Structure 1
Amino acid sequence: MNLVNLQDVSLAYGPLVLLDSVSLGIDEGERIGIVSRNGGGKSTLVSVIAGRLPPDSGRVVHSRGLRVGFLHQQDSFPDTTVGRFVLGERAEHEWAGDARVRDVLRGLLSGWDLNTHMARLSGGERRRAGLARMLIDTHDLIVLDEPTNHLDIEGIAWLAEHVNGRREAVAVVTHDRWFLDAVTHRTWEVVDGRVERYEGGYAAYVLAKAERQRLAQAAEERRQNLVRKELAWLRRGPPARTSKPKFRIDAANALIADEPPVRDTVELVRFASSRLGKTVIDVKDVTLRAGDTTLLEHLTWQLGPGDRIGLVGVNGSGKTTLLRLLAKERGPDAGHVRHGKTVNLGHLSQNLTELDPEARPLQAVTEIRQHVTIGRKEHSASQMLERFGFRGERQWTPIGDLSGGERRRLQLLRLLMTEPNVLLLDEPTNDLDIETLTELEDLLDGWPGSLVVVSHDRYFLERICDRVFALLGDRTLRHLPGGVDEYLRRRAETADGGEVPQDRSRTDADEARQDAPRLSAAERRAAQKEMQRIERRIDRISARETELHALMAEAADDYTRLAELDAELKTLTAEKAELEDAWLAEAEKTGD
Structure 2
Amino acid sequence: MTTVLTLESVQLAFGMQPLLDGAELRIERGERICLLGRNGEGKSTLLRLITGEMTPDAGEVSVPDGVRVAVLPQELPEIRNRTAYNVVADAFPETARLLDEFQALSMSAGDGGDLNRLQVVQERLEELDGWRFDQRIRTTLEQYRIPPDVSLDTLSGGWQRRVLLAKAMVTEPDLLLLDEPTNHLDVPAIRWLETALAQFSGAVLFVSHDRAFIRAMATRIIELDRGRLSSWPGNYDRYLEAKEKAIAEEERQRAEFDKKLAQEEQWIRQGVKARRTRNQGRVKHLQAMREERRERRERSGTARIQVEDAGRSGKLIAEAIGAGFAYEPDKPLIQDLELTLMRGDKIGLIGENGSGKTTLLRLLLGELEPTSGEIKRGTRQEVAYFDQLRGQLDPEKTALDNLSEGREFIEVNGRSRHIMGYLQEFLFTPDRARSQVRVLSGGERARLLLAKLFSQPANILVLDEPTNDLDVDTLELLEAQLVEFPGTVILISHDREFLDHVAGSVFFLDGEGGVHETIGGFSDWRREGGLFPTEQPAGKAGRSGPASGTAERSANDKPATPRNNKLSYKYKRELEQLPERIRGLEQEVEDLNARISTPDFYEGDPEEVQQVLGRLSQAESELETAMERWVELEEMAG
Give the alignment partner of residue 82 of structure 1, picking from 84, 102, 113: 84
Give the alignment partner of residue 477 of structure 2, picking from 439, 445, 454: 439
Cα distance, 1:584 vs structure 2: 7.2
Alpha-carbon distance between aligned partners in 1 of 2:75 and 2:460, rounded to the nearest angstrom: 36
1:48 equivalenced with 2:49 (yes/no): yes
Cα distance, 1:304 vs structure 2: 1.8
Conserved 8 A contact 1:368-1:417: no
Cα-Cα RMSD: 4.5
Q: Deviations over 1:231-271 (max 9, x none)?
A: xxxxxxxxxxxxxxxxxxxxxxxxxxxxxxxxxxxxxxxxx
Cα distance, 1:415 vs structure 2: 1.7
Alpha-carbon distance between aligned partners in 1 of 2:40 and 2:85, rounded to the nearest angstrom: 35
Conserved 8 A contact 1:362-1:385: no
Letter in 1 for 2:57: D
Conserved 8 A contact 1:95-1:101: yes
Cα distance, 1:59 vs structure 2: 1.3
Q: In the alignment, which residue of structure 2 is the partner of 1:265?
A: none
Q: In the alignment, which residue of structure 2 is the partner of 1:199?
A: 233
Cα distance, 1:126 vs structure 2: 4.0
Conserved 8 A contact 1:373-1:379: no
Conserved 8 A contact 1:5-1:26: yes
Cα distance, 1:378 vs structure 2: 12
Q: Deviations over 1:376-412 (max 9, x none)?
A: x999866653443224543444556544542332222
Q: In the alignment, which residue of structure 2 is the partner of 1:449?
A: 487
Give the alignment partner of residue 285 of structure 1, picking from 316, 322, 336: 322
Q: In the alignment, which residue of structure 2 is the partner of 1:225?
A: none
Alpha-carbon distance between aligned partners in 1 of 2:346 and 2:226, rounded to the nearest angstrom: 36
Give the alignment partner of residue 104 of structure 1, picking from 144, 169, 187: 144
Letter in 1 for 2:560: S
Letter in 1 for 2:321: K
Give the alignment partner of residue 149 of structure 1, picking from 168, 183, 208: 183
Letter in 1 for 2:45: T
Alpha carbons of 1:191 and 1:463: their partners in 2 closer, same or farther (altered >3 Å)? Answer: same
Conserved 8 A contact 1:387-1:436: no
Alpha carbons of 1:209 and 1:397: their partners in 2 closer, same or farther (altered >3 Å)? Answer: same
Q: In the alignment, which residue of structure 1 is the partner of 2:212?
A: 178
Q: In the alignment, which residue of structure 2 is the partner of 1:364?
A: 403
Alpha-carbon distance between aligned partners in 1 of 2:417 and 2:500, rounded to the nearest angstrom: 26
Alpha carbons of 1:176 and 1:196: their partners in 2 closer, same or farther (altered >3 Å)? Answer: same
1:505 equivalenced with 2:566 (yes/no): no
Alpha carbons of 1:74 and 1:357: their partners in 2 closer, same or farther (altered >3 Å)? Answer: closer
Q: Deviations over 1:326-374 (max 9, x none)?
A: 2222222122322222322222233421448455538825959845459
Q: How does 1:12-411 map to 2 (within 5 A)?
A: 12-73=13-74, 80-86=82-88, 102-105=142-145, 109=146, 113-118=147-152, 126-217=160-251, 275-292=312-329, 293-351=331-389, 352-355=391-394, 357-358=396-397, 360-361=399-400, 364=403, 370-373=410-413, 385-397=423-435, 399=437, 402-411=440-449
Q: Deviations over 1:514-568 (max 9, x none)?
A: xxx99x99xx9xx99x98xx99xx9xxxxxxxxxxxxxxxxxxxxxxxxxxxxxx
- What secondary structure sits across from 1:54 in the alignment? coil
Unaligned 5+ residue runs, structure 1?
A: 222-271, 512-516, 539-574
Cα distance, 1:41 vs structure 2: 1.0
Letter in 2 for 1:174: S
Alpha carbons of 1:314 and 1:500: their partners in 2 closer, same or farther (altered >3 Å)? Answer: closer
Conserved 8 A contact 1:362-1:381: no
Cα distance, 1:171 vs structure 2: 0.3
Unaligned 5+ residue runs, structure 2?
A: 90-95, 97-130, 256-308, 549-557, 563-569, 575-580, 621-638
- What secondary structure sits across from 1:275 in the alignment? coil
Q: In the alignment, which residue of structure 1 is the partner of 2:525?
A: 483
Alpha-carbon distance between aligned partners in 2 of 1:426 and 1:160, rounded to the nearest angstrom: 23
Cα distance, 1:301 vs structure 2: 0.4
Cα distance, 1:579 vs structure 2: 6.5
Cα distance, 1:288 vs structure 2: 1.1
Letter in 2 for 1:2: T
Alpha-carbon distance between aligned partners in 2 of 1:381 and 1:580, rounded to the nearest angstrom: 56
Conserved 8 A contact 1:36-1:435: no
Cα distance, 1:10 vs structure 2: 1.7
Conserved 8 A contact 1:285-1:298: yes
- What secondary structure sits across from 1:70 in the alignment? strand
Letter in 2 for 1:23: E
Conserved 8 A contact 2:85-2:137: no
What TM-score, normalized to structure 1?
0.69
Alpha-carbon distance between aligned partners in 1 of 2:151 and 2:533, rounded to the nearest angstrom: 33
Q: In the alignment, which residue of structure 2 is the partner of 1:239?
A: none
Cα distance, 1:580 vs structure 2: 11
Alpha carbons of 1:466 and 1:90: their partners in 2 closer, same or farther (altered >3 Å)? Answer: farther
Conserved 8 A contact 1:458-1:484: no
1:493 equivalenced with 2:533 (yes/no): no
Alpha carbons of 1:72 and 1:419: their partners in 2 closer, same or farther (altered >3 Å)? Answer: same
What's the % identity of the aligned pairs?
32
Alpha carbons of 1:490 and 1:584: their partners in 2 closer, same or farther (altered >3 Å)? Answer: farther
Alpha-carbon distance between aligned partners in 2 of 1:317 and 1:297, rounded to the nearest angstrom: 12
Alpha-carbon distance between aligned partners in 2 of 1:47 and 1:416, rounded to the nearest angstrom: 34
Cα distance, 1:210 vs structure 2: 1.2
Alpha-carbon distance between aligned partners in 2 of 1:334 and 1:201, rounded to the nearest angstrom: 50
Alpha carbons of 1:338 and 1:582: their partners in 2 closer, same or farther (altered >3 Å)? Answer: farther
Cα distance, 1:312 vs structure 2: 0.8
The count of residues paired between Structure 1 and Structure 2 equals 483
- What secondary structure sits across from 1:346 in the alignment? strand
Letter in 2 for 1:43: S
Alpha-carbon distance between aligned partners in 1 of 2:136 and 2:463, rounded to the nearest angstrom: 45
Alpha carbons of 1:93 and 1:355: their partners in 2 closer, same or farther (altered >3 Å)? Answer: closer
Alpha carbons of 1:165 and 1:420: their partners in 2 closer, same or farther (altered >3 Å)? Answer: same
Alpha-carbon distance between aligned partners in 1 of 2:546 and 2:377, rounded to the nearest angstrom: 45
Cα distance, 1:173 vs structure 2: 1.1
- What secondary structure sits across from 1:208 in the alignment? helix
Q: How does 1:559-570 map to 2 (within 5 A)?
A: none
Q: Deviations over 1:86-127 (max 9, x none)?
A: 36886988777x5x654422xxx4xxx532344666776544
Alpha-carbon distance between aligned partners in 1 of 2:408 and 2:482, rounded to the nearest angstrom: 19
Cα distance, 1:168 vs structure 2: 1.1
Alpha-carbon distance between aligned partners in 2 of 1:364 and 1:580, rounded to the nearest angstrom: 55
Conserved 8 A contact 2:233-2:602: no
Letter in 1 for 2:165: L
Alpha-carbon distance between aligned partners in 1 of 2:446 and 2:212, rounded to the nearest angstrom: 22
More moved, 448-457 vs 500-509? 500-509
Letter in 1 for 2:84: V
Alpha-carbon distance between aligned partners in 2 of 1:326 and 1:139, rounded to the nearest angstrom: 47
Alpha-carbon distance between aligned partners in 2 of 1:458 and 1:300, rounded to the nearest angstrom: 25
